[in-house]
Chain A
Amino acid sequence: MTTFLGVPLRRKPEPELRHPNPLRGSESFPQAARHELANTQLRANLAHATSVIRAKRAEVVNEVPDWEALRDAGSAIKADVMVRLPELLEQLEEKVTARGGVVHWARDADEANKIVIELIRATGQTEVIKVKSMATQEIGLNEALEDVGIAAFETDLAELIVQLGHDRPSHILVPAIHRNRAEIREIFLREMGDAPPGLTDEPRALAMAARAHLRRKFLQSKVAISGANFAIADTGTLAVVESEGNGRMCLTLPETLITVMGIEKLLPTWQDLEVFMQLLPRSSTGERMNPYTSMWTGVTPGDGPQEFHLILLDNGRTRALADTVGRAALHCIRCSACLNVCPVYERTGGHAYGSVYPGPIGAVLTPQLTGTTGHGDPNASLPYASTLCGACYEVCPVKIDIPSLLVMLRARMVDEDRGRRIPDGWSAAMKAASWIMSDAGRFAAAEKLTGVGRLVAGKKGRISSLPFPASKWTAARDLPSPPAETFRTWWARERGES
C-alpha cells in the first residue's frame, strides 16, 4: 500500500554557476529555438552559410569513387575502437610516454581543468594561446583559466570572433557561422584594439587584421593548448587538422604543449589515417584536403615544444559507452556535416541546443554525456530537436545512424518520466485518448465531435490555433481539418451495417 502525497517532485535547483554550463542550456530546445527563430539576421546568415558548405561538400564527395567503401571502413574502425578502448588507451599512453610525453587522465571537466592549471602554473606563465578544440570548450577551460588569472587567447579566426564578441560558439567547425562579414568587422573595430581604422568587411581584409593581431602572440607565447582530431594508438601520434596555420603556430612555436582529448578520439593504427584523412576534410570544410595537418609523436628534440602533456578526458563518455545503441555517438569525428544538412539546425542555429555540441550529433551526444534528470532537464528536450528526416545519417562520414539514436533517446526520456507523480498534459491526453478509443461507443461519440473541428478549420482547411490545452499542440503545428465523414460512417453508407 503506497501513500500518494501529492507533492510534485522538483528538481534540485542548479548550484549558482559563475559561468554557463558548456553542455547544458538554461531552457528547453523549443523555448530556446523560439528566441533564436525571432532573429531574422541569424536565419539569413545560417541559410547562406549552410547552403554554401552543403554544395562544396557534395562536389568533393562526388569526386571520390569509393566514398561508400571509405565510410564503411571508417564506421567499422570506430566501432572497433570502442570495443578495444582500454587496451588502445594503454597502448597510446605507453607510446606517448616512450617518446617523452606525459599522459594525464581526467574523470571530468573539473579534474581536466585543474590539471591544465597546474601545468601552466608550473611554467610560470599567465598567458596561453589556444588552437580551436571542442574538448576544451566542453570543459569550459577558458573560463576556468580566467578564474585563476590565466588569459587564454583563441587563435582560430572564428573562435577569435566569438571570443572578441563575448559570444558563444554556434557550430562545431565554424563557431561564428551565425555572424556575417559586417558584424565581424564591427566586432574587430570595437574589441581588437589594433584593428586598422579603415578596415572593410571584405573577408580578406578581416583575415589580414586577424593575422596582424595574433602575430606577436604566436612568436612570444611559451604555452599552447590544443585538442586533437586523432590519436594513433600503435604509434602514439597525435593529429590536428586545420586551415589557417594558427594550429601549426600553437603546435610548433611554444615550449610547452598541452593537449586535451576525449578518450574516444583514438584510431588503432597508423594505416587508419588513410581512411580518416579522406573522410574528414571532404565532410567538414568541403575540401579535398584541409590546408594544414600537423602530426607529432611525443617530443622531437630540437623541433617543436620540448614539453608535451596529453590529458585523456572521460567527462561522460563512459556513460554513453554503456549503451549498446547510444555509444555510436562516440564515433563522431566532429566534421559537422550533419549540422550543415539539418533543416532544424539551419533555422534555429547552434545556440538553441544549449550545448557546445549542437545539431543532430549534439542532440544525441549531449544528453548521453550529461545524463538527464527527467522532464525539466533542458537536455531531455534535445532528442526531439529533429524531424527524423535522415539527412544527417546520409552525410555522416562514419555512418552514425543519428535518427535511430534520436528515437532510442526519446524512448529513454519517456521512460525516465514514467515514475512522475503528477502527469503532464501529454500523458493526461494520452490516457484520455486511451479511455475513449478502448470503447466503441465512446469512440463513436468522440467522432461526432470532429464536425466542430471542420467549423473551426473553415475554408482554409486547417486549424492553426486552439484554446488551452490543445494550444500546446497548435502552437507548433497546424492541425488538418477533420474529414467530412469518418471511415465508419463511410463504411456503413457504402456497405451497409456489418
Chain B
Amino acid sequence: MTASRSSGAREHVLARIRGALSQSGTDPVEIPREYRTSGPWKPGAPDTIELLVERLVDYKAIVHRAADAGGLITAITESLGAPTTLADGAAPAVVVPVGLDAGWVEAVRAAGFEVLTDSRTDPVPLDRLDTVVAVVTAARVAIADTGTIVLDGADDQGRRAITLVPDHHICVVRADQVVGTVPEGVALLAADRPQTWISGPSATSDIELSRVEGVHGPRTLEVIIAGPAAE
C-alpha cells in the first residue's frame, strides 16, 4: 500500500539530505558537556528530599513523609480518605498495579475500598477505570531539582492508563529513589521502557498564560516519600 511509494520517498529524502550537506558542510562537531551532572547533595540525602518536597508543593502536589512501614500505611490510608459508599451499596474502587507491595494493597482494602488489580495481561477495562476513585503506585525515580516523578511501567507502577484515567494518583517514592538533578535521573532510566514523567497534577497555561491545575490527567497528585533519608 504505502510501502512502495514510501520507500521511494525514503531514498529520495536521504539523497536530498546528503545533497544539502555536501553544500553546507559536515565538519564534525565537538559537544561541550560542562553542565552539572550532579547537585550539591547525594541521592536520598535530607537536603535532596527537602528540595523535592518544596518543588512538588510549589506545583500543587500534596506531599506526605513516612519514616517507617507503619507510617507509610497510615499515609496511604489518609491519602485515600474515607470511602463514600456508592448508590448501589458497593464500595468505591481503587486500582493498583499487579506488582504493588502486598502490604500497601492490604492498606487500601482495610480502608474500605474495593481493590482492582491491573496488569498488561489482565487490564481493567477503560470504562471501569473511569469509575475508580484513585490509583496507588510506586515510582522509578524522583528528581528533586524539577519536582519530577518518573514511572516506567514496571509491575509496581503499572500500565500508563491506570495513572492517567483516575482522578487521584497516590504515588509512593522511596527516599533512596530521590536524586538531585535531571542528569542523575536520566542515567537511572531505561529508554526501552514506556515512561511518564510527572511534575505536579495536570495543568494548563493556555488561558492568558495563567496556570490552572487539573485538566485531563489526575487532578490530585499525592506523593508519599517513604523511608528515612540517607545519612
Question: Does residue B180 face the partner (Cβ distance < 8 Å to A)?
Answer: no
Judging by beta carbons under 8 Å apart, are A73 and B33 in contact?
Answer: yes
Is residue A246 contacting chain B, with contact meaning CB distance below 8 A? yes
- Contacts A89-B14, A235-B192, A243-B205 known; A106 to B9 CB distance under 8 Å? yes
Structural contact, B13 and A184, CB atoms closer than 8 A: no
Q: A219-B126, A324-B24 are in contact. Are A292 and B198 (CB under 8 A)?
A: yes
Return chain B residues, CB-CB under 8 Å to A303: 120, 153, 159-161, 194
Question: A295 to B160, alpha carbons, bound, how many Å?
Answer: 11
A-contact 0/1 string along B31-64, CB 8 Å cutoff: 1111111000000000000000001000100000
* A246: B residues at CB distance < 8 A: 215-216
Contact of B182 with A by CB under 8 A? yes
Whether A429 is near chain B, meaning CB under 8 Å from some CB there, is no
Identify which of A45, A184, A293 gathers the most chain B CB atoms within 10 Å of its CB: A293
Chain A 287-321 per-residue mask, 1 if CB under 8 angstroms from chain B, else 0? 11111111111001111100000001010001101
Interface positions, chain A 390-439, Cβ under 8 Å from B, are none
Name the prevailing secondary structure of the A interface residues: helix
B32 and A73 within 8 A (CB): yes
User: B196 to A248, Cβ gap below 8 A?
Assistant: yes
Residue contact A297 to B182, C-beta cutoff 8 Å: no
Cβ 8 A contact of B21, one of A79, A206, A321: A321
User: Contact: B6 with A263, CB < 8 Å?
Assistant: no
Classify the secondary structure of B's interface with A: loop
Q: Is the CB of A181 within 8 A of B207?
A: yes
Residue contact A122 to B1, C-beta cutoff 8 Å: yes
- With A244-B202, A324-B24 known as contacts, the answer to whether A292 contacts B207 (CB < 8 A) is no
**A157 proximity list for chain B (CB < 8 A):** 204, 206-207, 215
User: When the two chains form their complex, are residues B194 and A295 in contact, meaning their CB atoms are under 8 A apart?
Assistant: yes
Q: Which of B34, B121, B215 contacts A245 (CB 8 A)?
A: B215
Separation of A48 and B186 alpha carbons in the complex (Å): 36
| B20 pairs with A318, CB closer than 8 A | yes
A270 near B35: Cβ-Cβ < 8 Å: no
Within the assembled complex, what's the spacing in Å between the Cα atoms of A287 and B191? Answer: 24
Question: Given the complex of chains A and B, what is the CA–CA distance between A423 and B164 in angstroms?
Answer: 62
* B145 near A288: Cβ-Cβ < 8 Å: yes
Q: State whether the Cβ of A76 lies closer than 8 Å to any Cβ in chain B.
A: yes
Residue of B nearest to A311 (CB): B6
Chain A interface size band reads 35 or more
Given A122-B1, A312-B13, A322 and B204 contact (CB-CB distance below 8 Å): no
**A249 x B164 contact (CB < 8 A):** yes
The answer to whether B207 touches A203 (Cβ under 8 A) is yes
CB of B195 within 8 Å of the partner chain: yes
- B126 — which chain A residues lie within 8 A by C-beta? 219, 253
A494 partner residues in chain B, CB cutoff 8 A: none
A52 near B164: Cβ-Cβ < 8 Å: no
Q: Establish whether residues A263 and B13, one from each chain, have CB atoms under 8 Å apart when the complex forms.
A: yes
Give the residues in chain A near B214, CB-CB below 8 Å. Answer: 204, 207-208, 211
Alpha-carbon distance between A82 and B23 when the two chains are bound, in angstroms: 13
Q: B203 at the A/B interface (Cβ < 8 Å)?
A: yes
Q: Which A residues are CB-close (under 8 A) to B199?
A: 287-292
Report the Cα distance A263→B18, complex, angstroms: 13
Flag if B216 contacts A245 (CB, 8 Å).
yes
CB distance from A416 to the nearest CB of B (A): 18
Given contacts A293-B196, A296-B194, contact A314 B208 (CB under 8 A): no
What B residues does A237 contact at CB under 8 A? 191-192
Q: Distance in Å from the Cβ of A477 to the closest Cβ of chain B?
A: 31
Any A CB within 8 A of the CB of B28: yes
B207 CB to nearest A CB, Å: 4
**Inter-chain contact B34/A289, CB cutoff 8 Å:** no
Interface residues in B152-202 by Cβ distance below 8 A to A read 153, 159-161, 164-165, 182-183, 185-187, 191-202
Within 8 Å of chain B (Cβ to Cβ): is A118?
Answer: yes
Contact between A302 and B207 (Cβ–Cβ < 8 Å)?
no
> Measured between alpha carbons, how far is A397 from B206 in the docked complex, in Å?
22
Pairwise interchain contact A174-B196, C-beta atoms closer than 8 A = no
> Given A105-B9, A174-B209, A244-B216, A297 and B32 touching (CB < 8 A)?
no
A245 to B30 alpha-carbon distance, docked (Å): 37
In the complex, the answer to whether B182 meets A277 with C-beta atoms within 8 Å is yes
A174 to B204 alpha-carbon distance, docked (Å):
10
Instruction: Tell me how far the C-beta of A60 lies from the nearest C-beta in chain B, rounded to whole angstroms.
Output: 10
A323 is an interface residue with CB less than 8 A from chain B: yes
Q: Which of A80, A105, A285 contacts B10 (CB 8 A)?
A: A105
B217 within 8 A of A: yes
| Cα A80 to Cα B153 with chains together (Å) | 32
Known: A52-B208, A73-B33, A83-B28. A248 touches B55 (CB 8 A): no
A9 to B67, CA, bound (A): 80
A497: Cβ under 8 A from any B Cβ: no
Q: Which residues of A contact B89 (CB under 8 A)?
A: none
**Within 8 Å CB of A48, what residues of B?**
208
Check: A361 CB closer than 8 A to any chain B CB: no
Bound: A52/B208 CA distance, A: 9
Q: Which residue from A90, A107, A319 sits with its C-beta under 8 Å from B9?
A: A107
Task: Check A327–B215 contact: CB distance below 8 A.
Answer: no
- Inter-subunit contact B186/A274 (CB<8 Å): yes
Chain A residues 227-241 with CB under 8 Å of chain B are 232, 235, 237
Do A322 and B23 touch (CB < 8 A)? Answer: yes
Extra 18 A-B pairs, beta carbons < 8 Å, given A86-B17, A246-B216: A45-B208, A76-B29, A83-B21, A83-B25, A85-B17, A105-B6, A155-B216, A177-B209, A214-B216, A243-B203, A274-B186, A288-B145, A290-B199, A294-B194, A297-B193, A303-B160, A318-B16, A324-B25
21 pairs of residues in contact across A and B, judged by CB atoms under 8 Å: A80-B29, A85-B17, A86-B21, A104-B6, A105-B9, A111-B5, A157-B206, A174-B206, A176-B207, A219-B130, A243-B202, A243-B205, A275-B35, A287-B199, A295-B195, A302-B159, A303-B120, A303-B153, A321-B20, A322-B20, A323-B24
Residues of A within 8 A of B (CB): 45, 48-49, 52-53, 56, 65-66, 69-70, 72-73, 76-77, 79-80, 82-86, 89-90, 99, 104-107, 111, 114-115, 118-119, 122, 155-158, 161, 174, 176-177, 180-181, 184, 203-204, 206-208, 210-211, 214-215, 218-219, 232, 235, 237, 243-246, 248-249, 251-253, 263, 270-271, 273-275, 277-278, 281, 285, 287-297, 300-304, 312, 314, 318-319, 321-324, 327
